[in-house]
């Protein structure tokens, strides 16, 4: 990853590898011991890092270990979705502190002032509830599904949720927030620097900052829900494209004469591989009287709207053949989509995240998808492909939102140094 300067490089390295001794920092960064001593002294004086004990050593003096001071500053993450708005205060080391949710769906709000006003009051409530001093807040990161222009700080067209295939496809009125200068408005009204991005783009960054794959150079994060979105890390940096439409793997064609999709295309991947598609199929089997074959799912007969993806997965995991087929169908389509993705990008690491599938079930799904991708992707690279479950769970988007502010801060810490000392 390109580092703007040595101070930033040291801070990034302590974040990634800490607790770490000065001598190891020098080795990893190719800097002299004298330079490391000087740079870490500046970071210690600014209270951004701290000494946290000694490394074990066979002989001689045991070196002092340095770690990030996670509570030197804080950021605010906002996760906007069709389920509502979640906000959180997040520490520099990715701990979610104060958490605040409201179920109001801002995407159905027509008044621009209401949209901005709700976001601003959510931020203010978080600041009040957390008791964090305003001077220690670095900014606000806001994420949402669909086309979001990070460059312009605007949401171009938040995606409506996938329309169920078995119901008639309702085309919603064209959804356009591109006239609202969201980042600018929020910044003007809260006094905090504000950044916006697509939720899967941001979650991909969160995986390389706080997930199992810290420091990964190339990674694709794929969010499996009612829609299927992806975020890409290429050469250590998030790839953001030109117009806020990036890695829309859910809207790649897997059936050229398939059913119409809400995006305007036909036969899109998410029509077959999303959780909405899985639930539609399960409901169809139940209503067609095949509920007995679905084992435990039969109990949902009078309660179809409440049926959960987790229930279908659990039933399949316990060996029910009809539910197993539903999961295998999702695996087949998702696998095909990921074969296209890894063949095109040449990236070996894919992280699957989901708000609807629990970790053990997601792990099971990943094993199946990995096997399929390894069998079908371009042979020379296929055996290196790993499709891993995200361990960030429901926090992936909120942590991603936090990285929108953390990234520029770690790239140029000297801009706010002194404030936390």
CB of 251 or CB of 283, closer to Zn ion: 251
Contact between 263 and Zn ion by CB under 5 A: the answer reads yes
> Using CB under 5 A, which of the segments 22-30, 261-269, 373-381, 386-394 binds Zn ion?
261-269
For residue 363, is it left (φ>0), alpha (ψ between -120 and 50) or beta? Answer: alpha
Q: Looking at beta carbons only, is 138 or 263 nearer to Zn ion?
A: 263
Q: How far is Cα 166 from Cα 171, in angstroms, rounded to an integer?
A: 15
Shortest distance (Å) from residue 251 CB to Zn ion: 4
Q: Would you state the torsion angle of the CA atoms of residues 320, 321, 327, 330, taken in this order, to the nearest 10 degrees?
A: -170
Residues 176-195 within binding reach of Zn ion (CB under 5 A): none
Task: Work out whether 163 is an interface residue with Zn ion (CB under 5 A).
Answer: no
Find the helix packing angle between 182-190 and 112-130, rounded to 10°: 40
Cα–Cα distance for residue pair 305/16, rounded to 1 Å? 44
Sorted by sequence, the CB contacts under 8 Å of residue 137 that are 6+ apart come out as 73, 74, 75, 76, 127, 192
Min separation Cβ 254 and Zn ion, Å? 10
Q: For Zn ion, which residue of 68, 268, 323, 366 counts as binding (CB under 5 A)?
A: 268
Cβ distance 403 to 367 under 8 Å?
no
Quick one: DSSP state of residue 290? I
Among 122, 251, 283, 374, binds Zn ion (CB under 5 A): 251
CB of 228 to Zn ion, least distance (A): 10
> Among 265, 340, 343, 358, which residue sits at the site for Zn ion (rule: CB under 5 A)?
265
- In angstroms, the CA 246 to CA 108 distance is 24
Does 19 sit behind a cis peptide bond, omega within 30 degrees of 0 on the bond before it?
yes
Residue 68 binds to Zn ion (criterion: CB under 5 A): no
Kindly tell me which of 162 and 320 has the beta carbon lying closer to Zn ion: 162
Least separation, in Å, of the C-beta of 167 and Zn ion? 16
Binding test (CB under 5 A) with Zn ion, winner from 261, 336, 402, 417 = 261
Least spacing, CB of residue 278 vs Zn ion, in Å: 17
Give the integer Cα–Cα distance in Å for 288 and 280: 12
Least gap, CB of 265 to Zn ion (angstroms): 4
| Residue 56: φ, ψ to 5° | -65, 145
Residue ranges in contact with Zn ion by CB under 5 A:
251, 261, 263, 265, 268
């Amino acid at each position: 990853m390109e580092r703007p300067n040595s101070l930033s490089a040291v801070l990034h390295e302590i974040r990634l590898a800490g607790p770490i001794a000065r001598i190891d920092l020098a080795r990893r960064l190719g800097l002299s011991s004298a330079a490391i001593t000087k740079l870490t002294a500046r970071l210690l004086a600014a209270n951004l890092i701290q000494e946290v004990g000694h490394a074990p050593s066979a002989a001689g003096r045991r070196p002092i270990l340095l770690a990030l001071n996670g509570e030197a500053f804080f950021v605010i993450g906002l996760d906007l979705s069709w389920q509502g708005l979640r906000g959180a205060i997040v520490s520099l080391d990715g701990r979610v502190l104060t958490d605040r949710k409201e179920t109001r769906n801002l995407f159905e709000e027509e008044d621009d002032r209401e949209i901005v006003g709700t976001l601003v009051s959510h931020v203010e409530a978080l600041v009040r509830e957390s008791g964090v001093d305003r001077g220690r807040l670095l900014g606000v990161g806001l994420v949402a599904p669909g086309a979001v222009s990070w460059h312009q700080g605007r949401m171009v067209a938040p995606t409506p949720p996938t329309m169920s295939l078995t119901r008639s496809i309702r085309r919603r009125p064209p959804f356009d927030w591109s006239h609202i200068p969201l980042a600018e408005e929020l910044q003007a009204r809260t006094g905090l620097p504000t950044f916006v991005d697509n939720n899967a783009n941001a979650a991909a960054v969160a995986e390389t900052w706080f997930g199992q794959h810290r420091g990964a150079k190339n990674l694709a994060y794929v969010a499996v829900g009612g829609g299927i979105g992806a975020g890409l890390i290429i050469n250590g940096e998030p790839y953001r494209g030109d117009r806020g439409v990036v890695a829309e793997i859910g809207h790649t064609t897997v059936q050229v004469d398939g059913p119409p999709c809400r995006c305007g295309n036909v036969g899109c991947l998410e029509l077959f591989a999303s959780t909405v598609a899985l639930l539609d199929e399960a409901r169809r089997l139940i209503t067609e009287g095949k509920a007995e074959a679905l084992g435990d799912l039969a109990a949902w007969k009078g309660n179809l709207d409440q049926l959960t993806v987790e229930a279908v997965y659990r039933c399949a995991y316990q060996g029910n053949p009809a539910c197993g087929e539903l999961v295998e169908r999702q695996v087949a389509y998702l696998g095909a989509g990921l074969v296209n993705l890894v063949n095109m990008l040449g990236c070996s690491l894919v992280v699957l995240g989901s708000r609807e599938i629990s970790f053990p079930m997601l792990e099971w799904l990943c094993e199946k998808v990995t096997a399929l991708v390894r069998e079908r992707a371009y042979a020379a690279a296929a055996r290196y492909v790993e499709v891993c479950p995200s361990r960030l769970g429901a926090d992936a988007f909120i942590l991603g939102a936090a990285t929108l502010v953390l990234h520029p801060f770690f790239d140029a810490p000297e801009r706010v140094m002194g404030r936390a000392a």
